[in-house]
Amino acid sequence: MRRKIGVQAVFIYLFFMIAVYCYLYFGGDSGIPEAFRGTSADPATFLNGRELMLSEEYSRIRNFLFFVSIPFEWLFLLLMLLGGLSQTFERWAAASSKSRILQTAIYVFWLSIITLIAAFPFKYIGYYLSKEYNISTQSFSSWMKDQITDFWLNFGLTFLLVSVLYWLIQKSQKRWWLYAWLLSVPFSFFMMFLQPVVIDPLYNDFYPLKDKKLETKILEMADKADIPADHVYEVNMAEKTNSLNAYVTGVGSNSRIVLWDTTLNRLEDDEILFIMAHEMAHYVEKHIYIGISGYLLLSLAGLWVIAKIMDHAVRKWGGILQVSSVRNISSLPLFLLVASILTFASAPLSNAVSRYQEARADSYAIKMTQDSQSAIGTFQELTRAGLSEVNPPYLVKLFRYSHPTMLERISALEQYDREKE
């Protein structure tokens, strides 16, 4: 029975891969509507022929990798359960130590290793493609260093979370999901507070903006928006990528506005000021706190659904999945499988909320700067630097885009100009 289910799952995955390929290469429409041809939103007006071709190729391959890598994770976790690998890891952990904490650490270590091996081809292909298309400038050794940092950081966090999670399941099999959620609230805020000062510096160097004249302009804008900012930070990214970015991170006194040095190198001051106004809008409109609240509400519902599905699955198919009880740590791949599916299913909703907030931030920024041409130039350069699609296929936008498409963003700026006139 296990073999039959495993073979069926593999064939379903292969069929899904073919369907995704057909959609992205033959079915999904990424062309520019006739009404926007020749406008600032038409990539043919600001990209040359080679850039247009590379943008189309790179976007399709990247989208294909995204849509096939996530179901591959589901397939891998399912095969782990059906093949008894999770149960084997649990036995190894039990045989290695009598301490429950050490058993959890050993189990999580083996799970992390096998997961890294399974996911590595997708990660390497993504790295290789970004190098081939001149998006990444990172050396292989530097990339591997980041992968190793990722592994140990994820191992530490996973060990901590799994230890607490299964302790709660042992204490209360009916309400563990509620207690886990209650503990996740302060933990989420703590991690957001920690992110800019502990985690981010593990990967890159951060320092106050070197261009003090530009920093003065940005801080003047922040003062007008009643934002208590003393510094703008830049991060050394040129040795890793040609892409451009700026973002807000952290909460409370650890909040930071961060600019990649690639952004500073490739954009004019007026274009950078538009980006900064956009980031300030997230602070002014409390998007960070709204995002945290939304995440916590979704995680509450998600944990409840995971608990119900896990109980039902173990009762009905525990023998097939080789999981005798939810309390056993060998049920962790089942937890991760259900959580990953729910996260993917909720992506259209969370992305839609994020796109709305980003559109609001664009609107705030253009009203603050009153410089639509710099804003349009910014979006065009972002498209060129990242070889992004201006108008991606509908399903790609639904599941991947946390920002409005460049077609929507640039056309909104042109609409603002028309209304202003």
Active site residues: 279, 362
**Tokens standing for residue 299:** 């995680």
- Strand ordering across the sheet containing 256-260: 206-208, 233-235, 256-260, 246-249
Query: Among residues 208, 248, 249, 251, which one has the least CA distance to residue 232?
Result: 208
Q: Which long-range contacts (CB under 8 A, 24 or more apart) does 164-169 make?
A: 165/335, 166/104, 166/327, 166/329, 166/332, 169/326, 169/327
Between CA 176 and CA 167 the distance in angstroms is 9
3-state secondary structure of 389: coil
CA-CA distances (angstroms) from residue 321 to 84, 122, 222? Answer: 8, 26, 55
Identify how many contiguous H helices and E strands the chain contains and give both numbers.
14, 4
Annotated binding site: 278, 282, 358
CA-CA distances (angstroms) from residue 280 to 35, 52, 111? Answer: 32, 32, 41
CA 140 vs. chain centroid, Å, equals 22
Instruction: With beta carbons less than 8 A apart as the criterion, state whether 414 and 373 touch.
Output: no
Cβ partners under 8 Å of residue 131, min gap 6: 138
Pairing of strands 256-260, 233-235: parallel
Instruction: With beta carbons less than 8 A apart as the criterion, state whether 116 and 134 touch.
Output: no
Annotated binding site for Zn(2+): 278, 282, 358
Instruction: With beta carbons less than 8 A apart as the criterion, state whether 138 and 239 touch.
Output: yes
Q: Is the dihedral of CA 342, 346, 351, 357 positive or negative?
A: negative
Between CA 342 and CA 7 the distance in angstroms is 23
Helix runs in 286-386, H state only:
287-321, 332-369, 372-386
Count other Cβ atoms within 10 Å, centred on residue 384. Answer: 18
Q: Check residue 260 and report its DSSP letter.
A: E
